[in-house]
């Protein structure tokens, strides 16, 4: 009798164990939902990381080296930047008639690059590469005025001497504390005034600028650094 | 017996250290240094560099930003009595910062890459310049 009851008990225990493991092995709908949820979370997290790693950026730089798949440029902050190009990259130049491609880009050309910047590799995968001309802006003090030729000589912060041609189309402005920002004229410019010039550099003479706009400040003298150089020039 | 030996060795060590210390002190006190062996060390105070009278920080726009609007907000901080000049390819403006030095204005930009040059000039003529590249594009890629 004892033996029978023991066998019965053993049977019950093994059956319950079997059922238990079988249930654990078969996933319930709740488990499936949980699994899908976890997978989704992983996918979204990896996509977010990918999106954060790459961002749209636009740079301007001077070409220092060019190959079939890469352009090396020096940007405005004098940093070397690596630009990757692929079959999706579009090239353009305002002066070029016909199809413009990477083989047309030469050293010392100023280009604008719009593409995807990878924060990890610090490279830009270019989508658009355009040849551009950047405006020339300089700041300094008025060293000499040539009223006959409508030109002025300026000394920049870097100690450069430049001749600035003022044309009829040049937009001339002055700024004073009381009057504010006003349209002005060539005759109002005096020596030692602080001045900002915007224009284009003469292709024949690199020390000559053709001004398209200028702002001078009658109340602000040229910076002390420029002033010492101005005295030397005026002597 | 063992205890006595331990105490004795401890006292002997102490005594030895004391004698060595006294001898070292006497040696140092009697030592003479010839003028040839001496070196004069002079500390030159660093010459102070003049602090520039103007500073400039630009919070917006970020350099190399790609924007979808041709109206660009430019904001930052500078010396409160400075004059701020903003120049882009086709636009120029002169503004003055608030009493706390904050400034903000809007400028219009062209298609493609634009160079935004922000110049702060102090009343004594000193200046600070920051250049930012901002690209206007509505291309999707």
Taking only the tens place, the pLDDT of each residue in A8-29 is 655 556 555 545 554 545 567 7
- Between CA A71 and CA B58, with CA A75 as vertex, the angle to 5 degrees is 145
What is the domain class of B56-136 according to CATH? mainly beta
Structural tokens at position B67: 């924007």
- Is B91 at the interface with chain A, CB within 8 A? no
- Is B129 at the interface with chain A, CB within 8 A? yes
Taking only the tens place, the pLDDT of each residue in B3-45 is 888 999 999 999 999 999 999 998 888 877 777 777 777 777 7
Nearest residue, CB atoms, A194 vs list B89, B115, B121: B121
What is the Cα–Cα distance from A174 to A196, expressed in whole angstroms? 10
- Is B127 at the interface with chain A, CB within 8 A? yes
Substitution target from A51, A57, A58 for chain B, most B beta carbons within 10 A? A58
The pLDDT assigned to A196 comes to 95
| Residue A207 clears pLDDT 60, i.e. is over it | yes
Nearest residue, CB atoms, B89 vs list A115, A135, A226: A135
Nearest residue, CB atoms, B127 vs list A76, A115, A139: A139
The pLDDT assigned to A95 comes to 86
Substitution target from B53, B82, B125 for chain A, most A beta carbons within 10 A? B125
The residues spanned by each domain of chain B are 2-36, 56-136
Superfamily of domain A136-234: Nucleic acid-binding proteins (2.40.50.140)
Q: Do domains A54-131 and A136-234 have the same CATH topology?
A: yes
- The predicted complex's ipTM stands at 0.74
- Between CA B60 and CA B69, with CA B65 as vertex, the angle to 5 degrees is 80
Q: Where do we find the tokens 């602080």? A: A194
The pLDDT assigned to A42 comes to 75
Do B94 and A175 lie within an 8 Å CB cutoff?
Answer: yes
| Residue A81 clears pLDDT 60, i.e. is over it | yes
Superfamily of domain A54-131: Nucleic acid-binding proteins (2.40.50.140)
The pLDDT assigned to A6 comes to 58
What is the Cα–Cα distance from B101 to B98, expressed in whole angstroms? 5
Its pTM stands at 0.72
Query: What string of H, E and C letters represents the secondary structure of B2-40?
Result: HHHHHHHHHHHHHHHHHHHHHHHHHHHHHCCCCHHHCCC
Report DSSP state, residue A15. H
């Amino acid at each position: 009798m004892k033996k029978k009851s023991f066998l019965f008990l053993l049977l019950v225990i093994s059956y319950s164990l079997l059922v238990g493991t079988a249930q654990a092995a078969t996933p319930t709908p709740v488990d499936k939902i949980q699994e899908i949820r976890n997978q989704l979370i992983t996918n979204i997290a990896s996509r977010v990381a990918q999106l954060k790693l790459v961002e749209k950026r636009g740079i301007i730089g001077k070409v220092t080296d060019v190959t079939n798949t890469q352009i090396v440029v020096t940007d405005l902050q004098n940093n070397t930047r690596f630009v990757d190009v692929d079959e999706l990259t579009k090239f353009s130049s305002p002066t070029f008639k016909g199809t413009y491609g990477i083989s047309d880009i030469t050293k010392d050309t100023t280009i604008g690059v719009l593409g995807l910047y990878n924060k990890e590799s610090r490279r830009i995968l270019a989508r658009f590469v355009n040849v551009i001309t950047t405006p020339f802006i300089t700041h300094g003090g008025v060293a000499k005025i040539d009223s006959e030729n409508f030109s002025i000589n300026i000394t920049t912060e870097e100690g450069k001497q430049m001749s600035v041609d003022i044309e009829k189309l040049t937009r001339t402005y002055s700024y004073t504390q009381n009057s504010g920002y006003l349209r002005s004229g060539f005759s109002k410019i005096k020596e030692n005034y602080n001045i900002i010039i915007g224009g284009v550099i003469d292709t024949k003479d690199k020390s000559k600028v053709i001004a398209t706009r200028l702002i001078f400040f009658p109340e602000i003298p040229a910076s002390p650094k420029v002033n010492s150089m101005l005295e030397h020039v005026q002597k | 017996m063992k205890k006595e030996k331990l105490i004795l060795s401890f006292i002997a060590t102490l005594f030895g250290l004391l004698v060595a210390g006294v001898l070292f002190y006497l040696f140092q006190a009697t030592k003479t240094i010839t003028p040839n062996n001496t070196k004069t060390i002079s500390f030159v105070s660093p010459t102070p560099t003049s602090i520039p009278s103007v500073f400039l920080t630009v919070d917006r726009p970020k350099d190399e930003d790609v924007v979808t609007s041709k109206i660009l907000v430019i904001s930052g901080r500078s010396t409160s009595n400075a004059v701020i000049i903003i120049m882009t390819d086709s636009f120029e403006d002169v503004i003055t910062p608030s009493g706390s030095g904050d400034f903000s204005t809007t400028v219009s930009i062209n298609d493609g890459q634009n160079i935004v040059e922000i110049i702060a000039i102090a009343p004594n003529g000193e200046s600070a310049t920051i250049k930012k590249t901002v690209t206007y594009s509505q291309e999707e890629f």
